[in-house]
Amino acid sequence: MTSPIAHLIFHTPRIPGNTGAAIRLAALTGATLHLVEPLGFDMSEAKLRRAGLDYHDLAHVVVHPDLDAALDAVGSGTRVYAFTGHAERSFEDVRYAVGDALLFGAEPTGLPPEVLADPRLTDRVRIPMLPGLRSLNLANAAAVAVYEVWRQHGYPGAAAPGSSPTE
């Protein structure tokens, strides 16, 4: 198997629709989606299946019992970028490598302090937003980040223009 464009890591996701959308995102971009337990839903939940449409069998999704297992799975040499509204560095200032890990927290709370303090993190980054607002939707934030990684590398493996219809 070739290296994924990126490893998306969702730390204890809560909303099945967001994870379903991320499954579709992983299938469409060649990313691997890592889900860190506990999950706020069952993987067979209808909302998750509906949001992922028919992409579940096309995506590489791995469920891990904890963050240590997820980070072990992506590899010790993998750079890990934690996405948080509490970072100074903007995500687009990073020159991503193929296979970097993009770590996101749960929908209502983001990444907990103990995760943000983990020495295995390469850096903390943020997606710019207008002031006074809490956060971008998890699936949307993941899409922004994965597409930036893919864009920086020239969209390897992407379909030729006009060869795939838009829904």
User: How far, in Å, CA of 10 to CA of 102, rounded?
Assistant: 9
User: How far, in Å, CA of 4 to CA of 63, rounded?
Assistant: 16
Cis-peptide, bond into residue 38, ω within 30° of zero:
yes
Higher confidence at residue 49 or residue 9? 9
Tens digit of each residue's pLDDT (9 = 90 or more) over 12-54: 999 988 998 999 999 999 999 999 999 988 877 565 555 445 6
Tens digit of each residue's pLDDT (9 = 90 or more) over 50-86: 544 566 577 889 999 999 999 999 998 999 999 999 8
Known binding residue 105? Answer is yes
What is the separation of C-alpha 99 from the centre of its chain, rounded to a whole number of angstroms?
12
Closest CA to 92 of 144, 153, 29: 144
The answer to whether residue 115 scores a pLDDT higher than 50 is yes
Known binding residue 127? Answer is yes
> Is residue 80 within a helix (H) or strand (E), and if so which, with residue range?
strand 80-83
Average pLDDT over residues 114-126: 97
User: How far, in Å, CA of 84 to CA of 165, rounded?
Assistant: 34
Fold assignment, 6-152: Alpha/beta knot (3.40.1280)
Known binding residue 9? Answer is no
Domain-wise residue ranges, the chain: 6-152
Would you say the pTM of this structure is higher than 0.75? Answer: yes
